[in-house]
Amino acid sequence: MEHYIEALNWRYATKRFDVSKKISTQDLGTLKKAIQLTASSYGLQPYKILIIEDPETRKKLLEASYGQPQITEASQIVVFANMTTFDDTLVDDYITNASETRGIAKSSLQDYADTMKSTLSSLSPTEKSNWTAKQAYIALGNLLSAAATLRIDACPMEGFQSEQYNEILGLNALNLNAAVIATIGYRSTEDDTQHYAKVRKPLNELFTTI
């Protein structure tokens, strides 16, 4: 746990990346696994993760990201795209997966499936989109922590035009929306922000025990 806290103290929102350094296939696989294992409501994972490496695509995304250099300098861009809408298929697919993974009959999961469907079907279209976006943010948090333990730099970013991302990446046709992104790679020596002291609220101000 001491190593984990040390890693969190080490990480920061990287502003400039070293373009000559790329994340290894093995480490990228570890980050993908960490995202896959992220907790989500009901375990439904109502989002899609895109790993952007193509230089031409990244040039287009740079314009949709207010020219922030991380977009083209980082090793990869990770786009967390939440489902904008869904129906009972989301639950049905999960139940099928759970049945096959655990080697149990679908019928034994029917009550759970009905509960999920009842709860989720009561949400308005806006509430559905907000809920799926929140789930995507949980996955983002897991990526940031996993990257830090590997001493891989990352920068979570909301400073982009999601509508343009959706168009460039073809997300609209898939009922997906770019909720949040993260650029990952290795910090540049020219990034002065790596030397800034981390600013956080003190524990006694942040936490209240009742």
Please tell me the distance from the alpha carbon of residue 99 to that of residue 107, in angstroms, as a whole number: 9
**Is 161 inside any structural domain?**
yes
What residue numbers bound the domain in which 56 lies? 2-86+128-206
**Is 155 inside any structural domain?**
yes
Domains in the chain, number: 1
**Is 115 inside any structural domain?**
no
**Is 182 inside any structural domain?**
yes
**3-state class (DSSP) for residue 51:** strand
For the segment 7-35, what is each residue's pLDDT rounded down to a tens digit? 999 999 999 999 999 999 999 999 999 99
For the segment 136-174, what is each residue's pLDDT rounded down to a tens digit? 999 999 999 999 999 999 999 999 999 999 999 999 999
Which one, of 123, 127, 180, 186, lies nearest residue 152 by Cα? 186
For the segment 66-106, what is each residue's pLDDT rounded down to a tens digit? 999 999 999 999 999 999 999 999 999 999 999 999 999 99
Q: Say whether pLDDT at 1 is over 90.
A: no
CA distances (Å), 75 to each of 50, 187, 203, 209, in order? 14, 10, 34, 41
Q: Are 135 and 82 in contact (CB under 8 A)?
A: yes
**Is 123 inside any structural domain?**
no
Which one, of 156, 184, 190, 149, lies nearest residue 10 by Cα? 149
Q: Are 23 and 184 in contact (CB under 8 A)?
A: yes
Identify the pLDDT of residue 202: 98
CATH code of residue 38: 3.40.109.10
Which pLDDT band holds residue 40 (cuts at 50, 70, 90)?
A: very high
**Is 16 inside any structural domain?**
yes
**Is 74 inside any structural domain?**
yes
Q: Say whether pLDDT at 185 is over 90.
A: yes
For the segment 193-210, what is each residue's pLDDT rounded down to a tens digit? 999 999 999 999 999 999
